[in-house]
Amino acid sequence: MKNYFGTDGIRGQVGQHPITAEFMLKLGWAAGKVFASEKRGRILIGKDTRISGYMFESALEAGLASAGIDVSLLGPMPTPAIAYLTRTFNAQAGIVISASHNPFHDNGIKFFSGNGEKLDDEIETAIERMLDEPMVMVESGKIGKVSRINDAAGRYIEFCKSCFDSGFNLKGVRVVVDCANGATYHIAPAVFRELGAEVIEIGVSPDGLNINDKIGSTHPQALQSKVVETGADFGVALDGDGDRVIMVDQAGEIVDGDEILFIIAAYLHEKARLNGGVVGTLMSNFGLEQALIARKIPFVRAAVGDRYVLSELQTRSWQIGGESSGHILCLNLTSTGDGIVSALQVVAAMVASGRSLAELKNQMTKLPQKMINVRCPKSVVASDQVTRAVAATEEKLAGKGRVLLRPSGTEPVVRVMVEGEDEVLVDLLARDLAQVVEGAAVKAH
């Protein structure tokens, strides 16, 4: 059991342990000692645009150097860019200072291995063990050196463009790009512009405090309004660190992660370039599963979290997977979730088919979904009373929907979800099932 590393690195509120400058200094040293035990190498550090990034960048830099590790600073860069650059520079590891889609007062640390993937549990555990040791720096002649990679943005822009099908261009296309005042503010507009599109930018004025503030993939209303207002062909909304994407069609309608995943998979399948099937999560809409199966594309569900989607893809040697939130994995192109690259795959499908984003989205029909959070211990899910109620609910759906009871990993809550074709019935069944769960919780006490 790890004390600091969760499913997506170390994260919390700035100023509260462990998201403090003191801890980051020790974390840099501990990580440096673990990596230096193999060889003296180089670690890249990148960050998003939140104000605390400056402080944590300096602390990590000092800690790594004191352990004898050379450091290369990337400045504000999207999380997937750091994964990519870690690979291309043959670095030992990459560090991202970001709290993704969270507000500015949160921050966190993610690590990438030398191949641009998340660290193995064994390495995270070794870093945590080193955190318990006294901090002793190397002798002066072995202190790590620090440099800055000045062309990092240009390198990553070229990589993103290389992920767009050759021979395609976006001349005559108008797109609104929302960068959430985050790490893609100087990247995403350039990618689409250099591919020939007319780009309208929003969320490209970070001030350290406005990252994800009523903008970006978690708040797409600004993008929806701007697409309609400007008569754009579509819109792209990224989150603060650029690993998630939500899109908006010409009418201002949301195209979420499930729909993006479907469009990419269907396009690759049509071109005979889909290696295997698609991995979603327990929360992926049943309509996605139906649409893929109708095209004879295999579909499986992993636990919620991109770490689990990635693991399932690797186990099956498949390439495409993702979450409703817009975290999409295209392992045929890159090693981690990349909002810009994922959006470009959808745009490639539009260009190749001559269809609008709305037309592609409408090839999949999302089923109505109702989710109710019930405060209770997770053990209630296994009670006979609840098990019988779930079976009865599934019987009423008659194979045209599904039921999911999912305990939260962070609070004493069970998420009761029902999906089906009839919105009224779905709502009724979800409420009835939630009442049974509540009753079982009371009975258990």
CA 104, CA 117: separation in Å to the nearest integer? 25
Task: Give, for 418, the enclosing helix (H) or strand (E).
Answer: strand 413-420
Tell me, what amino acid is at 418?
Answer: V
CA 72, CA 148: separation in Å to the nearest integer? 5
Cβ–Cβ < 8 Å for 249, 361: yes
In 3D space, the residue among 352, 209, 367, 174 whose CA is nearest the CA of residue 287 turns out to be 367
In 3D space, the residue among 221, 182, 238 whose CA is nearest the CA of residue 205 turns out to be 182
Peptide bond into 298 cis (omega under 30): no
Tokens read off for 51: 């104000």
Helix axes 257-270, 286-294, angle to 10 degrees: 10
DSSP letters of 209-232?
S-TTSS-STTSTHHHHHHHHHHT-
The catalytic residue among 72, 100, 113, 335 is: 100
* Residues whose CB is less than 8 angstroms from the CB of residue 2 and which lie 6 or more positions away in sequence, other chains included: 121, 124, 125, 128
Tokens read off for 96: 């991202």
Burial 298-337 (b: 16+ CB within 10 A, else e): ebbbbebbbebbbbbbeeeebbbbbbbbbbbbbbebbbbb
Tokens read off for 6: 């969760």
Cβ–Cβ < 8 Å for 414, 408: yes
In 3D space, the residue among 118, 350, 337 whose CA is nearest the CA of residue 239 turns out to be 337
- DSSP character for 248? E
* Known active-site residue 335: no
- DSSP character for 205? -
Residue 164 CA, distance from chain mean position:
20
CA 131, CA 116: separation in Å to the nearest integer? 24
In 3D space, the residue among 204, 186, 158, 178 whose CA is nearest the CA of residue 75 turns out to be 186
CA 76, CA 82: separation in Å to the nearest integer? 10
Tokens read off for 354: 């001559």
CA 395, CA 391: separation in Å to the nearest integer? 6
Catalytic residue numbers?
Answer: 100
